[in-house]
Structure 1
Amino acid sequence: MSHTENPLPRPAEFRILDLFAGPGGLDVAAHVLGHQVTGIEWDDGACATRARAGMDTFQGDVRRYRAAFFPRAQVLTGGPPCQTFTVAGHGAGRKALNQVTEYIERLHAAVRDTDREEGEEKLRAWKRIFRTWRRIHEELRVKEEEAEAVRREKRHVEKQRAGVRKDIRDRLERLGMSKGEITRFMKRLMSRRGLDVSPDIALSEPLKTLDDLNARLEKFKARLEELGDERTGLVLQPLWWVIERSRRPGSEPYEAVVLEQVPAVLPVWNEYAKVLVTLGYGTATQLMHTEAFGVPQTRRRAVLMARLGEPDPLPKVPETHLPYQRGTGRTEQAETLPLETAQTLEEKGAESTERAAKPKEPWVSMARALEAAQQVEGSGVRPRPPFTVISNYGTGGDPEARGRRDHDTPSATITGKVSRNRVVHQGTDEDLDDGLGRFNPAEAGVLQTFPSRYPWCGNDLSQQIGNAVPPRLALHVLRHVLEPELSGTEADERLDQAVVALEHWRPARSVEPLGHRDLKGHPLSGR
C-alpha cells in the first residue's frame, strides 16, 4: 500500500482480521493508522474493489474459515450482515433478535460453566463449549434447509398468484374498463378494502382463488419469520471466533475486538459484551452519530469495542464535532447547543474533561467535503453550484415526500440507492446539467469519507458504498481502542494526521483475492 510520504508515528502495529470486510472502509482506516489488515469477504464486487485497492482479502463465506486458521491475528473486527434486525419494531425483527439472543446466552452459559478449568480439564472444557456451538450450528443448518424449501414453495405460489391477477385484469379489460379503472381496482384488490364487486362481472372464482393463495403466502411468511434466515448464524460468527481464540487450548486471545452495524443491532452487541467480560475483556457499546466524528453525513452506527485485560467498561469514543440539528447553520451551532456540565464531564472521565478545553468543531457539510476532495489530483470529484439533494426515499411515511438536504448541510444517510438521489439547483426541482444531477462513485464515496481516488470496481458500486463503514468513523474507533495510551492533545494530533493521510491516500498496486489454498504461508496463518 502507498499512502503518504511522511508515515504517521505508530504507537503500536497490530495484525487485524476483518470479517465481512466489504469494500474496505475499516481496512483503509487501519492502513492509514499503520496496521496490517486481512479481510474475509464473499461479494464479488466488494472483492474486486478490494483487489484494486491492494487490500489483502480471502474471498469466500466466513463460515468456511475458522479462527484457528489465522493464529497470528491480534485484533478481530467486522460487521456481520444484520438487515433482519433493521425491522426490530416488527414481528420478524423481534423474533430475530430474540433468537440470536437465545443462542448467545447458550454460548455464554457454556463459557461460564468452564471458566475456571485448567490442565487436562481445560481440553475437556473446550470440547463441551465446542459441542454447544456444533449443536447451535446444526440447528441453524436444519432451519436454513427448511427455510429454503419454504421459499421455493412460496415462489411457486407467488407465480400462481401473478397468473390469477393477470386473469382478473384480462376479464376487466373484456368488460370495457379503462386502464385507470383497472389500476384503481387492482390497488383496492391488494388491500381488499373498499372493494365492491358486482356479481355479474364473473370474478367470484378468481377472487376466491386469489384469497386462498394470499392465505398460503401469509402462512409461508409467518413460517419464515419463525425459522429466521442465514444472517442469524452469520451474526454469531464473530462471537464464536472470539470464544475459540479465548478457550481453545494452545490459542491466544485477541487483544482487541471492534464490531459495528446498524443501530438495531445494539441489543446484540450488549449481549456480546456480557460474554466478552466473562472472557476477560473490558467492553463498551456505543451508538455513534457519524457527523459528530467529522463524517459529512448523518448516519448512526452501533459499535462494540473490547480490549483484553482492561477494566470494564471501556470509555466511550469522544466526539470531535457537533451534532447536526436541522434548520441550524454551522455558525449557529455553538450558540444553540448546551454546554457540558462539570458533573457530565466527571461521568465521562478524565480524557473527556481534558478534551472539553478544546471546542468541538462544526459538522462537515457536503459542499465542504466535496470541495476539499476536488483539490486532490485525479480525484474524479466535480465542481458544482449550490445544490440540493433529493433523496430516493420518502419521508414521514409518504413515499412521494422525498427528503431534501442542501449542499451546506451534511448528507442524509448514504445507502445502496445513492446513485438514484437527484442533485438539483438549490431550492428548485431542476436537475443540474452536464451529468452533475447524480453523484458519481467517487463523490458518493467522499460523502462516506473514502479517499477520493478509491478505486471502486465491480458490480453495484452504490450498494458497496452504502454498505461500507465510513473510514473516518473507523479512524476514531480504531485509534481509541488500539491506542489507549494516547489521550488529549496526543490523540487529537494522531487523528488530525490520519485524516490528512486518508484524504490523500492512493492505491499502490492491485492484488488478487485469496482462497483456502493460499492459507499456507500467509502472514496470519502461522503455517
Structure 2
Amino acid sequence: MDLFAGPGGLDVAAHVLGHEVTGIEWDAGACATRAKAGMDTFQGDVRRYRAAFFPHAQVLTGGPPCQTFTVAGHGAGRRALDDVLRYIDRLHTAVHNTADHPDRLTAWTQVFRTWRQIHEELRRKEVEAKALKAEKRAVEQSRTEMRKAMRKRLEELGNSTDEAKRILKELKAPQTLEFPDAELTGLLKEFGDLDGVLEKLKVKLEELGDERTGLVLQPLWWIIERSRRPGAAAYEAVILEQVPAVMRVWEEYAAVLDTLGYRTATQFLHTEAFGVPQTRRRAVLMARLGGSGRDPLPQVEETHELYHRRASRTRPSKADHHADTLPLDNAGNENDGTRRKPEKWISMETALKNAQLFSGGQVRLRPPFTVVSNYGTGGVPEARGRRDHDAPSATITGKVSRNRVVHQGTDTDLDDELDRFNNAEAGVLQTFPAAYPWDGNDVSQQIGNAVPPRLALHVLRHVLEPDLDENEVTERLKRGVEDLVAWQPTRTVKPLDHRGLKGHPLTGR
C-alpha cells in the first residue's frame, strides 16, 4: 500500500521486483499518469481512507508532503516540525502506556481516543485556517482595488502613468508618503490600515500551522491501527522517504515502531550512490516486523561512488538535514576487502544513451552539453548552477523543464529543440523508464516530486528480501535495473474512488 503515491516511482520499482502495489494519490495529473502506466490507484485524500479498508496489504510505503519543514530559516517551517513531533510523542505515549494491557480492546480504545483528539485539533485548525485564508484573500482584493483607485487619482492630478507607477511602488512603506490631496490621503490611510490587517492575518495563519501537518501523521496512524486494532495483522514491512529535513520525523516514527515490535533503521541516501544519474539526498525510514530497537536493520549498501565536484573530502553530519544536493566523495565507506568495489557514478549522458533504445525516439542524442539550472547558487539568483553532460544531474525539481541545455563550455543554447529536456528525458534522469507514459497537468512537477525508481529498487529489495546472500543481491539488482530501463506499459486502468473498495483484492469485501 503506497500512500501519497505520486506518478508511480516506487510502484514501478516494486513491479519489476515482482510486487503488486495499490496507491492513494489526490493529484489529478499524477493519477492520469498512473492510469496510463497501469498503476492501481485510489484517487483522493489519504485522510478519507483507513488502514482497516485494506486488511490484505502486507507492506506500507509512502512519502507524505513535508514542504513546510524545508523552508530554510522560516519560523513557520520550524513550528510545523515541532507540532508534528509533539503529536507523534502523544501517540507514542499512548502506544507505550497500553503495550502490556491485558485487554486488547481496552488498549486499542485508549490509543484510538488519543488519535481522535489529535484529529479533532487538526480539523479545528484547518477550519479556522480556511476562514482566515478567505478573509486574507478578501483583504488582498481590497488592497488591489485601493491601488487602482490611488493610481487613477494620481493621474487625475496630472501625474503620468509612469510617475503614478513609481509613486505606487513606494507603498511598501505607505507611512512615508504624504499627499496634499485630501482624497488621495484618505485612500492612502485606508491602504495602510489594510496592510495592518493583512499582517495580523498572516501571523494568525502561521500560528495555526499548515493543514498538511495531519498528512504527515497518516502513515504512522496506519501502522498503529494495523498493529493494535483487535483482529488486524501488523504490516510486515514499512518504507517511508522524504527530504532530509524530515529525518527528525522518521527518527520519532522509529521510536514508535520499536514499541510496536519492528526492527527499524533510518538512513540518509545519496541517489547517485545507487546508480541514479542525479545528486539528491533523501531521508528514509525502514522497518520489518519482529525485533526491537536493540536489533536495528542494517543500512542499505551503496553500489556506486558519491559524486564530488571539488576537492572536498567531507561527508555531511547526521545533523545536516537540509542539503538536498551536495558535492561528495566516497569517504566513510572505504572498501574493507569484503565488499565489492563501488562502480563510478552514472552521468546524464550515459543514462540518456542507455535509455534511448527503449524510448520510441523520445530520448534524443546531443553533442557535449551543459545544463544551466533555473536556480541560482550561493544565494545569488543570477549565478545559475551548471552541470556538464559527463556528470550526474543536479537535483531534478518541478522546474526541470526550465533548465537550459547549452553547448558545453558556452552559454549558447543547443539547436533543434534540444535546449530543454522533454518529459521522457527528465523522467530518465529521475530513473523512470524512457517509455513511462507521462500525462496530465504539470508533468515537470510530477517528475520532480517523484521517488527515483532506481533508488526505490534498492530500498525495496533491501527491506523485503533480507535473506539473499551477496551474489544473489548483485544478480537481483542487476536484473531489476535492466527490467526497469526496458519497462513498457502493458495496460491502462481507471483511478478508483470509495466505490472501488468493494471487490478490490486488498479489501476482502
Q: TM-score, normalised by structure 2?
A: 0.91
Q: Give the SS at the match of 2:503.
A: coil
Counterpart-to-counterpart distance in 2, 1:54 and 1:411: 28
2:381 to 392, 395, 399: 399
Q: Note if contact 2:26-2:44 (Cα within 8 Å) is conserved in structure 1.
A: yes
1:317 is the counterpart of 2:300: yes
How has the CA–CA distance of structure 1 residues 176 and 373 changed in structure 2, closer, same or farther, with 3 Å as cutoff?
A: farther
The Cα shift of 1:229 comes to 2.6
2:23 partner amino acid: G
Alpha carbons 2:362, 2:424 under 8 Å: kept? yes
Aligned to 2:316: none
2:289 to 308, 320, 328: 308
Does residue 421 of the first structure (1) align with residue 390 of the second (2)? no
> In the alignment, does 2:273 pair up with 1:292?
yes
| SS at 2:505 equivalent | coil
214-223 vs 481-490, which moves further: 481-490
Q: Where do 5+ consecutive residues of structure 2 fail to align?
A: 313-327
The question of 1:145 aligning with 2:133 is answered no
What SS does the aligned partner of 1:36 have? coil
Q: Once the 2 structures are TM-superposed, how far is the Cα of residue 399 of structure 1 from its aligned partner? A: 2.5
Question: In the alignment, is the contact (CA less than 8 A) between 2:355 and 2:485 conserved in 1?
Answer: yes
Q: Which residue of 2 aligns with 1:44?
A: 28
The Cα RMSD (Å) is 2.3
CA shift in 2, pair 1:198/1:211, >3 Å: closer
Selected match of 2:255 from 269, 274, 279: 274
1:148-297 alignment runs, 5 A limit: 148-173=130-155, 185-190=167-172, 192=173, 197=177, 199-200=179-180, 204-297=185-278
The residue identity in structure 2 corresponding to 1:97 is: L
- Residue of structure 2 aligned with 1:26, choices 10, 21, 35: 10
Structure 1: any 5+ residue segments left out of the alignment?
Answer: 1-16, 330-335, 346-351
Of 306-315 and 499-508, more deviation after overlay is shown by 306-315
Question: 1:102 aligns to what?
Answer: 86
Partner of 1:447: 429
Specify the alignment match of 2:324 in structure 1: none
Superposed CA offset, 1:309-336 (max 9, x none): 145322221112222212579xxxxxx9
CA distance in 1, matches of 2:330, 2:377: 29
Q: How many residues align?
A: 491
Residue 308 of structure 1, CA deviation: 0.8
Q: CA deviation at 1:294?
A: 1.1
CA contact (8 A) 1:395 1:402 kept: yes
- 1:387 is displaced (CA, Å) by 1.5
1:34 partner amino acid:
G
Corresponding residue number in structure 1 for 2:497: 515
- 2:420 equivalent to 1:461: no
Deviates more, 1:218-227 or 1:175-184: 175-184
Would you say the 8 A contact 2:276–2:346 is kept in 1? yes
Alignment partner, residue 325 of structure 2: none
**Pairs within 5 Å for 1:421-500:** 421-500=403-482
Q: Deviations over 1:367-414 (max 9, x none)?
A: 111111112251510111122222222222232322222222211211
Query: SS at 2:305's partner residue?
Result: coil
Q: Does 1:382 find its partner at 2:364? A: yes
Aligned residue in 1 for 2:508: 526
Distance 2:144 2:269 in 1: 44
| The 10-residue stretch of structure 1 (125-134 or 487-496) with the greater mean CA deviation from structure 2 | 487-496
What is the distance in 2 between the residues matched to 1:69 and 1:457? 29
Secondary structure of 1:393's counterpart equals: strand
- Asked if 2 retains the 8 angstrom alpha-carbon contact of 1:72 and 1:524, the reply is yes
Q: Which amino acid aligns with 1:486?
A: L
Conserved in 2, the CA contact under 8 Å of 1:386 and 1:407? yes
- What corresponds to 1:126 in structure 2? 108
Looking at structure 2, the residues matched to 49 and 368 of structure 1 have their Cα atoms a distance apart, in angstroms, of 26
Displacement of 1:488: 2.7
